[in-house]
Structures are given as structure tokens and as C-alpha cells.
């Protein structure tokens, strides 16, 4: 049987909405690996935000930062850093507008504002044992792959107009991801596919959110979670059950990867 590669988003896909890994999901991943398939992660998270999950699942290939930092079998494969000059300008404007920014590289994240309620609300929702320390100069002279801008809808629309160098993807009511323009999980996945030389029909992807839309449109065998965003469900070829209703297991059965 041809080897398949299956990319999984984390939040709302592998993890339920309490940031827990359902037992049926963990077993389904084990079963895929036992069949010789490659299991990979495609997430907006930073690598240091899901190290424990990678170790728990035995995953060494991943697309992080929505495609900007890609690792293949434990080794960095592709890096796409934010435009430094544009990020400096954006940060200055954000300070004027009282919109905090969190700077992120592949190892750490730092906030330019201490103790802001929006940063606390956004980062706390990820339920990770990590919180950005205050370092307003962390973005200077450093390769950053993503930043977080803390503002409410529609305040981010002005930044979109002012900074064509970036794409802005909302992930929380008070925060948007800042990524290089044109970057996406789909493009990060393509770097891995090019490395593997695998056929399109042997590629699968599971997701639930707005940052999964391009991935779900691009990957031939795409599955959206039943409780996912409507745009994600519209983009996918298949829709499985909710994440806490054995959504991953049922989706893998739906596409014929598990019995």
C-alpha cells in the first residue's frame, strides 16, 4: 500500500475545546502510524507550544506558525520570516493605539506590553504552561516567524490596509496572527510534499478554523471538523463529527484510512 501523509491541525481538531486530546483521537493516530503512514501536524502554534504533544504522539514532521517554520523528520526544512522593517513600523503604530504585540520566533515569545488583559485572555485560552515575558525590543535584529496583534474586530482591518507585507488571521476575539503575506499552512505543507515526492491523492488534512481554509481547499483529501468554522467546512471535501464525538476517528474512517 502506498504510504499516506496526514496533516492535523491542533486546536479544535486534535485537541478538543478544553485543549485535551480525546482518547479515540490518540488511538487513531497510533493506528495510522502502525499502518506505516506519516502523521504530521499543521498548526498556527509555535513549535515550543506543542512540544509535549509531538512527544506524546511521536510526531517529528510539522508545519508551525501557519506555514512559516517547517520541520521534516526533526530537521528544519523551511523558514519564512516576517519583514523586519514593516514589523518595526507596525509595532510603533500598535503602541500608539494601545494594541499589544507578542513577538515569536521558533524558540520563544515576548510581549511588548506588560500585564495587558487582552494578552492574558488570548494566551490563557491556549492553556499552555507558558506566558510571554515583557521584552519590547525582542523583535529587533531577530528572525521572527509570526507575531500576535491584540485588537478587536474590526480594528485589525486598518492594519490590513496599512501593511500589505503581512496577512492577518483572527484566532481569538481579541487577537490576530501576523504572518508573511501569502504564507499559509498549504504552502508549508507543499515544502514537505516536495521533500517526500508523494502523490496528491496520498495527502490528507484535518482542520477546523479560518487558518485551515487554504489547506482544506488545497489538499485533495480534506476533512473539516463538525463543530468547525463554516468557512472551513465549506472548503473541505468531507465533514466529520464534532471533535469530542470521535471526530478524528470517524473522519479517518470516512476517507478509508481506518476501518
pLDDT in tens, 231-240: 999 999 999 9
Task: Specify the pLDDT at position 170.
Answer: 87
Task: Specify the pLDDT at position 167.
Answer: 95
- Under the banding of pLDDT at 50, 70 and 90, the label for residue 249 is very high
For residue range 5-45, what is the model confidence (pLDDT) as tens digits? 999 999 999 999 999 999 999 999 999 999 999 999 999 99
- Which residues are catalytically annotated? 9
| Cβ neighbours for 133, distance < 8 A, ≥ 6 positions apart | 110, 111
Can you spell out the DSSP letters for 167-218? EEEEEETTEEEEEETT--HHHHHHHHHHHHT--GGGEEEEE-SGGGHHHHHH
C-alpha triplet 194, 198, 199: angle, nearest 5°: 115
Q: Indicate the pairing of strand 101-104 with strand 75-79.
A: unpaired
pTM of the model: 0.91
Cell triple for residue 183?
A: 504564507
Task: Specify the pLDDT at position 85.
Answer: 97
Task: Specify the pLDDT at position 169.
Answer: 85
Coil, strand or helix at 110:
strand
For residue range 105-135, what is the model confidence (pLDDT) as tens digits? 999 999 999 999 999 999 999 888 889 999 9
Contact 203, 4 (CB under 8 A): yes
Go through the domains of the chain in sequence order and give each one's CATH number. Answer: 5-79+183-254 (3.40.50.1000), 84-180 (3.30.1240.10)
- Under the banding of pLDDT at 50, 70 and 90, the label for residue 1 is low
For residue range 167-218, what is the model confidence (pLDDT) as tens digits? 998 889 999 999 999 989 999 999 999 999 999 999 999 999 989 999 999 9
| Cβ neighbours for 124, distance < 8 A, ≥ 6 positions apart | none
Amino acid at each position: 500500500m502506498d504510504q499516506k501523509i496526514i496533516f492535523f491541525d491542533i486546536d479544535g481538531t486534535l485537541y478538543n475545546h478544553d485543549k485535551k486530546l480525546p482518547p479515540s483521537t490518540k488511538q487513531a493516530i497510533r493506528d495510522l502510524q502502525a499502518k506505516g503512514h506519516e502523521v504530521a501536524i499543521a498548526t498556527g502554534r509555535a513549535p515550543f507550544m506543542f512540544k509535549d504533544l509531538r512527544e506524546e504522539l511521536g510526531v517529528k514532521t510539522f508545519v508551525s506558525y501557519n506555514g512559516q517554520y517547517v520541520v521534516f523528520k526533526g530537521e528544519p526544512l523551511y523558514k519564512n520570516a516576517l519583514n523586519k522593517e514593516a514589523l518595526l513600523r507596525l509595532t510603533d503604530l500598535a503602541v500608539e493605539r494601545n494594541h499589544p504585540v507578542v513577538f515569536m520566533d521558533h524558540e520563544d515569545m515576548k510581549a511588548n506590553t506588560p500585564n495587558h488583559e487582552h494578552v492574558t485572555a488570548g494566551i490563557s485560552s491556549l492553556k499552555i504552561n507558558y506566558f510571554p515575558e515583557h521584552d519590547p525590543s525582542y523583535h529587533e535584529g531577530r528572525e521572527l516567524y509570526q507575531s500576535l496583534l491584540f485588537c478587536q474586530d474590526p480594528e485589525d482591518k486598518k492594519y490590513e490596509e496599512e501593511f500589505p507585507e503581512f496577512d492577518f488571521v483572527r484566532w481569538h476575539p481579541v487577537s490576530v496572527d501576523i504572518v508573511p503575506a501569502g504564507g499559509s499552512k498549504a504552502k508549508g505543507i507543499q515544502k514537505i510534499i516536495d521533500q517526500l515526492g508523494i502523490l496528491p491523492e496520498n495527502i490528507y488534512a484535518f482542520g477546523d478554523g479560518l487558518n485551515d481554509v487554504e489547506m482544506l481547499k488545497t489538499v485533495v483529501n480534506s476533512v473539516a471538523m463538525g463543530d468547525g468554522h463554516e468557512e472551513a467546512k465549506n472548503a473541505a471535501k468531507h465533514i466529520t463529527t464534532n471533535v469530542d464525538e470521535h471526530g478524528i476517528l470517524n473522519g479517518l474512517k470516512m476517507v478509508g484510512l481506518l476501518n
